[in-house]
A and B are shown apart, each in its own frame.
Chain A
Amino acid sequence: MRLGDFILEDAIIGEVRASTKKEVLAEMVASIVESGCLEPDSAESVVEALMRREEIGSTGIGHGVAIPHAKHTAVRRLIGGYAHSSDGVDYGSPDGQPVKALFLILWPDGVIGPHLEAIARVSQALKKPNFVDCLQSTINKKEIVELFAEADKEAQG
């Protein structure tokens, strides 16, 4: 699996406008709707599903990264988005660091496992030297797409 297989290019946000966790997730879900992969009337319910998962425990994993994820009946296949926040979002991460890089993962309800593969793929990229630093220091969507493509190329290599 490649990052490009599930992270929709249209759902990559170079700089989020929102500043709270829920608002940022809503902005990311809105970009998925804009990409045409989610019906507009499901957006609110998807954000609620993501927030329910956050209530179990923050999906902030430390080092300024979060992987919000949820399954939902309105989602037809494994899809994802990415957002960057220069100011950082207060996310309740274990190391207390504000989150600057968010990977959103959504998958259809009733299907087990595809998000685990997506999480494994994201983490494989995250442990690449300098990947997180490069990702967190750019708000340029084209550069973000290139970083993902480069990571995919190396993983295939």
Chain B
Amino acid sequence: MRNTVRSSTEIPVDKDDGLHLRPMQVLVEKAAGFESKLTLARGGKLVDAKSIFEVMTLAAEKGPLVLQADGSDADEAVRALSGLLDKELGGG
């Protein structure tokens, strides 16, 4: 059995473009595949990264996204999801 670990990273969001629906959908879909508890924070608001309704409330907040994972696959989750967001941000 693997130990519970915590991993986190900060992902910049282009302030001229913002956080659109598409990257949020892709993030939540991918997040469901991880065992770790995943949270996403932006502008002082903290939400469950596995809930699309919660993640979408971050759309109009300002600043970077902070992704945090707690669980046995925390490192993999942060690596995969931050890579995905880097690629998706700025699109539709």
Contacts and interface: CB of A to CB of B under 8 A. Distances in A.
Contact of B57 (A63, A94, A124): A124
Contacts, number: 60
Interface string B55-75: 111111100000000000000
B25 A120 contact: no
Contact of B60 (A53, A61, A120): A120
Interface residues of A, number: 22
Interface residues of B, number: 24
- Which among A62, A67, A117, A119 has the greatest number of chain B C-beta atoms within 10 A? A119
B80 interface: no
Interface string B11-27: 00000111111100110
Contacts of A69: 21
Contacts of B56: 61, 119-120, 122-123, 126
A127 interface: yes
B55 to A, nearest CB: 8
Nearest to A119: B59
Given A94-B28, A116-B20, A120-B58, 5 more contacts: A57-B25, A61-B56, A119-B56, A119-B59, A123-B52
Interface of A: 53, 56-57, 59, 61-63, 67, 69, 94, 112-113, 116-117, 119-124, 126-127
